[in-house]
Amino acid sequence: MSEIAIRVENLGKCYLLGHNAAPAERYTALRDVIGRNARGLARKTRDMLAGRPIVQGDEVEEFWALKNVDFEVRHGERVGIIGRNGAGKSTLLKVLSRITEPSAGRVAIRGRVASLLEVGTGFHPELTGRENVFLNGAILGMSRREIQRKFDEIVDFAGVERFLDTPVKRYSSGMYVRLAFAVAAHLEPEILIVDEVLAVGDAQFQKKCISKMEDVSTSGRTILFVSHNMAAIRTLCTRAVLLESGALAGTGPIDQIVAEYISRSSLSRPRFEPDRSPLENDTARISGFSVSPGDPATGAPVQYTFEIESSHSRHVEVDLAVSISTPDSSRVLQIYSLDMGKRFFLGKGRRKISAAISALPLAPGDYIVNLWLGSGSTPIDWKKNCFAFTVQPGMYDGGSYVSNTGYPVVVPSIWTPMIDDRETSDEKLS
């Protein structure tokens, strides 16, 4: 029991939505108007006497943002909460942060909670940055001496030294988030809850935040992290909870749940769709693309083939690139003709150009393709997330069978036993 930091049991959160009747229904006979208003007044009176919120409108609809959600988080775990927009992620974090009450079920939390949900949450806009640091520490139950001990570290992390005595209402959204995260992460909460709000920060700050959350978790504290960035989720978290339409769709190891989330996405297997509109004069475009074989294997040959359509009246010099990423948008590798010293001349008409790899260095799994047609740094046609393919388990010559390694790239290498910096045979090591 003591190992459980958060226990969620049959959790539900219901919101009441008010709807006004359509104009054709609103302006009818006087008796209908009086009857409808009387029913609305009676409903609002019942809600008020029962302690429920009063909702404006002729009709009221129940909307369950969360329903029958069950999961547990142990002390020291780093858990990602993932799902599409509207899945209920932010609502769940608000319930766990005690910002809103659940409509059904229960939540048991053991430990002091610090949360960073929305820009502005937890800060008083009229107070300075310095005053808000001490205010947040007091809310977390820390003494003034404890806060002072961490103060310089917080300010250095946030990078807002020059603006400490400025009211935070004058901060940019990025400054606001930097200070809010620094306060939440450094004031030693036992449970840290972070929403997608980090997306406001720049790439360097996001990297600092991920690194800080890793440090927080290694000290035995618990982290709940919501993000649409699957690379960040995979980097930080060891487990994930998948929500869909307010319900629990899965919970388990991070790679398994991220793969489940991606497989449910309509963007998980894009197929190349050529543009069939008339081609303008003196331009070119990628009109086709294929991978051969269709599902290549690790260590096996593979060929990528472009079909280019051109309306140039005279030959122009172009280069081509294939960039490959994982379904969570982590870039893996790029094949670029210019890197190989190859450029191509296009005239009017269609032609095919292929790029061959003798031994595919990708580990088994699903991959997404971006295509580039350009001249130097000038793009002519750029197709993002336009094609998907699956790499099957395979092997390099003389090697063993490569299955799912957890890393997207498998590079062939030569391993040699050594004694006193000299090569030797395996027999001499025994």
User: Where residue 413 falls among pLDDT bands split at 50, 70, 90?
Assistant: confident
For residue 429, tell me if it sits in a domain: no
244/153 same-domain check: yes
User: Where residue 1 falls among pLDDT bands split at 50, 70, 90?
Assistant: very low
247/195 same-domain check: yes
Among the listed residues 212, 382, 371, the one whose alpha carbon sits nearest the alpha carbon of residue 291: 371
Mean of all residue pLDDT scores within the chain: 82
How large is the average pLDDT for residues 40-47? Answer: 67
Characterize the bridge pairing of strands 78-82 and 222-226: parallel
Alpha carbons 128 and 131: distance in angstroms, whole number: 5
Q: pLDDT for 126-178, tens place per residue? A: 999 999 989 877 876 778 888 899 899 889 988 888 999 999 889 887 888 88
For residue 423, tell me if it sits in a domain: no
Q: Check pLDDT > 70 for residue 50.
A: no
Residue 265 contacts residue 361 (beta carbons within 8 Å): no
For residue 204, tell me if it sits in a domain: yes
Task: State the helix-helix crossing angle for 144-158 and 129-139, rounded to 10 degrees.
Answer: 130
Q: Check pLDDT > 90 for residue 319.
A: yes
330/239 same-domain check: no
199/124 same-domain check: yes
For residue 425, tell me if it sits in a domain: no
Q: How far is CA 160 from the centre of its chain?
A: 27
For residue 290, tell me if it sits in a domain: yes
Q: What pLDDT, on a 0 to 100 scale, did the predictor assign at position 283?
A: 86
For residue 144, tell me if it sits in a domain: yes
Q: Does residue 123 come out as left (phi exceeding 0), alpha (psi in the -120 to 50 range) or beta?
A: beta
For residue 75, tell me if it sits in a domain: yes
Of 321-330, 348-357, 412-421, the poorest mean pLDDT is in 412-421
How large is the average pLDDT for residues 280-299? Answer: 88
98/214 same-domain check: yes
310/213 same-domain check: no
How large is the average pLDDT for residues 50-78? Answer: 78
The C-alpha R_g of the chain, in whole angstroms, comes to 29
For residue 272, tell me if it sits in a domain: no
The CATH number covering residue 173 comes to 3.40.50.300
Asked which of 235, 264, 293 is the last residue of a domain, the reply is 264
252/183 same-domain check: yes
Characterize the bridge pairing of strands 365-375 and 378-391: antiparallel
Tokens 């190989």, residue? Answer: 340
Q: What pLDDT, on a 0 to 100 scale, did the predictor assign at position 255?
A: 84
Q: Give the domain extent around 332.
A: 284-391
94/22 same-domain check: no
228/90 same-domain check: yes
60/81 same-domain check: no
Could you give the 3-state DSSP secondary structure of residue 48? helix
Residue 311 contacts residue 283 (beta carbons within 8 Å): yes
Of 58-67, 128-137, 242-251, the poorest mean pLDDT is in 58-67
- Which segments of 245-330 are extended strands (E)? 247-253, 284-292, 302-310, 316-325
Among the listed residues 391, 309, 389, the one whose alpha carbon sits nearest the alpha carbon of residue 349: 309
Task: Kindly state the tokens that stand for 378.
Answer: 């000038």
Number of domains in the chain: 3
155/51 same-domain check: no
104/216 same-domain check: yes
How large is the average pLDDT for residues 354-369? Answer: 91
Question: Which pairs count as long-range contacts for 170-175, CB under 8 Å and 24+ apart, including other chains?
Answer: 171/129, 173/119, 173/200, 174/200, 174/201, 174/202, 174/205
Q: pLDDT for 189-204, tens place per residue? A: 888 888 876 666 667 7
